[in-house]
Amino acid sequence: MNQAIKVRRRAFSVVPDDILADERLSWRARVLLAWMLGRSPDFDLRIWYIRKVFRISQQQWVKARKEMQAVGYFQQERIQGEKGRLQWVHFVTDTPEPPSPQKPPNGKPCAGEQSDGSPIHGE
């Protein structure tokens, strides 16, 4: 006779200690990041829901998001969606990645000379 055992436990999250101790982020940004990383990969995370759960304003969310972006835990990318409409796609990671270089405001590459990478000033 093969019987299944059901496990009953409270949900919990495992977050790397370096995220909780990352002094580049405010306490609010650390808590939001830890909570987001603790959701399962199939959890449909929405900004309005995060704001609702933590009872934070749009301005508080934007401030925390910018902190996470500056360090590389949060990225957003604009993609062309259905019917050619542009939309934002957001990513959160437990391994910070340096933010990608920003495009110039007019969308055109900056003029400049090619460099071999050696320093211009100093020895």
82-123 pLDDT tens trace: 888 898 888 899 998 776 555 444 444 444 444 454 444 444
1-51 pLDDT tens trace: 677 787 777 777 888 899 999 999 999 999 999 999 998 887 888 999 999
60-84 pLDDT tens trace: 999 999 999 999 999 988 888 888 8
CA angle at residue 65 from 64 to 68, to 5 degrees?
Answer: 90
pLDDT at 1: 63
Share of the chain above pLDDT 90, in %: 43
Distance between CA atoms of residues 51 and 90, nearest Å: 15
Reading the block at residue 79, the tokens are 């993609």
Q: Is 43 left (phi over 0), alpha (psi -120 to 50) or beta?
A: beta
